[in-house]
Structure 1
Amino acid sequence: MAALPPKPAPTRSPWRRLFARPAQHQSAAGAVIRDYFRHRAQDLGYTLSHSQLRVIDCMAQQAEGLAHSPGKAQSLYLYGAVGRGKSWLLDGFFRALPLAEKQRLHFHDFFTQLHQGMFRHQQQDDALETTLDELLNQCRVLCFDEFHVHDIGDAMLITRLFKALFKRGITLLVTSNYAPEGLLPNPLYHARFKPVIELIKQRMQVMEVGGPHDYRSQARTHEQQVFTQGCYVWPGTPAQRQALELPERHAPAQPLSVGARQLTVRQIQQRSIRFEFNDLCEQPTAVMDYLELSRRFDTWIIDELPELGECSIAAQQRFINLIDVLYDQDKRLLLIGQRPLAESLGGHAIDLARTRSRLGQLRKIGPEHALG
């Protein structure tokens, strides 16, 4: 997620090459991007990887293009394994870019808003364009974090979406765990998604953010962590539940209205909510449900986590989506299972590596730990 941890600085600073461009070839916008990352890395004591430095240089050129050729700056697609700094780079670019007409969105959230808007405007001649007018207004730069595609229905809409965004002259920055060729990997549907893969490769500079380590698993500063205020409790004994002031297992179910739907919940207390795993992940819930609940509740308790490898792929994917939303919305998570976390997160869903990385930030409370 963040840049590489500190290590002794090399004799020749890698920033010398990056910032050695003659002044006449730099715009103010490009210099702002380079200066932001230089100061940010120095303040945090980071030494950036070679691939991160390449991306920063590309982002600076992108900012220069936005300043000199509006509507023609090349878009950027960043991919790589979890924890290699993609989101950190995207966030830094968004904060530093000296432009007001910009938006930074988690792809889950944007896509939910897109679906809802198209439903509202279904009587219009072009519901997609009308919805984009509403969502993007005068936006010139759009940043998508955690872009992925697993559903053929979504894939067809994404094809239309990307064509519409490029037609509008919007500059895209996208992060993904997958290279373009790895999107929608299901062999039954992959060929039908080829047009948008080719469009991405034609209209966006594709860059890998590499490195051998997942730096989410290492100690970081508070601002770089999300789930540090939460914990994973196992095996959820009566003593643990009493210390954490949780009801006993299998608390009575009660209905909860979410939009036009009824979900099952086990406990609600002010801005805290408790579910059992099956209530959310073995039922036909969706990302829009999690997003709506995130607006209403800040602390989430997910009880009865099973061994994911024993669940259906659909249940695994719902759990992945749920953790994505809670992570992106910066919610406090208390997760309760019967086994150590690493043993509970088996399975074969495509994005489980990201989920394991994010849940790895939770404080672990096992049977040998005293609760205070």
Structure 2
Amino acid sequence: METVQDHYEARVASGRIKPDAAQRQALPAFERIRAALAEPVKRGLFRKAPEPPKGLYLWGGVGRGKSMLMDLFVDTLTVPARRAHFHAFMQEMHAEMHRLRGQGVEDPIRPVAKAVADSVRVLAFDEMQISDITDAMIVGRLFEHLFAAGTVVVTTSNRVPGDLYKDGLNRQLFLPFIRLIEEKLEVRELASETDHRQDRLGGAQVYFAPAGAEARARIDAIWEELTHGTEEKLTLRVQGRELELPRYRNAMARAPFYDLCGRARGPADYLVLADALRVLVLEDIPALSRHNFNEAKRFVTLIDALYEAKVRLIASAAALPESLYLEGPGSFEFERTASRLREMMAADWGR
């Protein structure tokens, strides 16, 4: 039976990942859980079900390899597990609770949690963060039921548990969840000095003009390097509507310009998007003018959101930033966007 350490060293030997001392130090925490879950359950009339192993809360800076270690861990499990982006999972919970309320269920948290616990032994979350008050108000009770049912939770985050929902509205109501996390999960920092995601992009070209077959091929190579050929769909819920990212992996998404800026979207969409991502690959940005003024305005808003959130941008466009928007209303104001695009092209952007 392959251990988490075995799986890690096999990837190092194959050249798929670079060895990292801090990552190696975190492997026993994952292996502890894997080994406990792999133990056969002794059955009998009077046998009590074994206590589930304590979960794991792995936090640290962007690009340190938290998501990669989570993937390794899930790959070695022999019990039902679900790997999900935390934000997407919570949106799914809200949608299911809304459906049950429509059927007259007064308190839907318990049946929602039971359905999850009945389907998996392990919940593996990427990017646990709480920024929405609707999440903050239900997450404590939801996880109480999950833990009571024996569900093992393993999660990554960019921040220590005590900083979750920091400065949020009615945060005092959220504090019991932090205590629950600290009780039920081993809290461990991944204190690597290396930002592996930035290293993969360090010195690499991230803005390609003009867009076309050559630019697409170059971006394909970068995307393959970042995702190792694995991607999924992420659906973000924004004020009752959905923003779908069909190509997503570990806080990285790839989308054509039209999908993000050619449709009716507003600042709220881009703020949620920037909050969920660390890297955005945006393809086929067209020349901008009075003829596509609405798309240009959305693009400016998107870049502002990405810039403020320090999201890494990889893009293909019809022209270099300074030549993207040469005439039409707003072309003068676009100079700030062009400047930000130039800054975001720098090798050390987002550090």
TM-score bin (small chain): 0.5 to 0.7
For 1:178, the equivalent position in structure 2 comes to 159
Structure 1 alignment gaps of length 5 or more? 1-27, 221-227, 235-239, 245-280, 306-310
SS of residue in 2 equivalent to 1:39: helix
Per the TM alignment, residue 105 of structure 1 is displaced from its structure 2 partner at its CA by: 0.9
Distance 2:277 2:284 in 1: 12
Per the TM alignment, residue 117 of structure 1 is displaced from its structure 2 partner at its CA by: 0.6
For 1:169, the equivalent position in structure 2 comes to 150
Contact 1:232 1:335 in 2 (8 A): no
Contact 1:287 1:322 in 2 (8 A): no
**1:278-322 residue CA offsets vs partner (Å, 9 max, x unmatched):** xxx9xx94486013x749xx85315998xxxxx97x566234147
1:90-239 to 2 correspondences below 5 Å: 90-99=70-79, 101-122=80-101, 123-186=104-167, 188-219=169-200
- Structure 1 position 290 matched with structure 2 position 243: yes
Distance 1:136 1:334 in 2: 43
Per the TM alignment, residue 148 of structure 1 is displaced from its structure 2 partner at its CA by: 0.5
Distance 1:136 1:335 in 2: 44
- How many residue pairs get matched? 268
Distance 1:49 1:71, change over 3 A: same
Per the TM alignment, residue 138 of structure 1 is displaced from its structure 2 partner at its CA by: 2.9
**1:335-364 residue CA offsets vs partner (Å, 9 max, x unmatched):** 57999x9xx557896xx24x23xx2x4468
**1:209-230 residue CA offsets vs partner (Å, 9 max, x unmatched):** 122332212237xxxxxxx9x9
Contact 1:105 1:144 in 2 (8 A): yes
Distance 2:76 2:160 in 1: 26
Per the TM alignment, residue 166 of structure 1 is displaced from its structure 2 partner at its CA by: 0.7
Contact 1:233 1:336 in 2 (8 A): no
Contact 2:84 2:124 in 1 (8 A): yes
Per the TM alignment, residue 180 of structure 1 is displaced from its structure 2 partner at its CA by: 0.3
Contact 1:149 1:183 in 2 (8 A): yes
For 1:4, the equivalent position in structure 2 comes to none
SS of residue in 2 equivalent to 1:290: strand
For 2:63, the equivalent position in structure 1 comes to 83
Contact 2:285 2:316 in 1 (8 A): no
Structure 2 alignment gaps of length 5 or more? 42-49, 214-235, 248-253, 289-295, 324-351
1:239-278 to 2 correspondences below 5 Å: none
Distance 1:36 1:43 in 2: 11
SS of residue in 2 equivalent to 1:219: helix
Distance 1:367 1:199, change over 3 A: same
Distance 1:64 1:96 in 2: 10
Distance 2:258 2:35 in 1: 46
Report the residue type matching 2:243 in the other structure: Y
Distance 2:121 2:276 in 1: 30
Per the TM alignment, residue 43 of structure 1 is displaced from its structure 2 partner at its CA by: 1.0
SS of residue in 2 equivalent to 1:155: helix
Distance 2:75 2:317 in 1: 33
Contact 1:73 1:171 in 2 (8 A): yes
- Structure 1 position 73 matched with structure 2 position 53: yes
SS of residue in 2 equivalent to 1:154: helix
- Structure 1 position 43 matched with structure 2 position 24: no
Root mean square deviation of aligned Cα = 4.2
Normalising by structure 1, we get a TM-score of 0.60
Distance 1:363 1:178, change over 3 A: farther
Distance 1:78 1:363, change over 3 A: farther
Distance 1:187 1:169 in 2: 29
**1:137-185 residue CA offsets vs partner (Å, 9 max, x unmatched):** 3311110111100122210111112111111110011011111011111
Distance 2:10 2:186 in 1: 25
For 1:14, the equivalent position in structure 2 comes to none
- Structure 1 position 300 matched with structure 2 position 219: no
For 1:58, the equivalent position in structure 2 comes to 29
SS of residue in 1 equivalent to 2:150: coil
Normalising by structure 2, we get a TM-score of 0.63
Distance 1:363 1:36, change over 3 A: farther
Per the TM alignment, residue 104 of structure 1 is displaced from its structure 2 partner at its CA by: 0.7
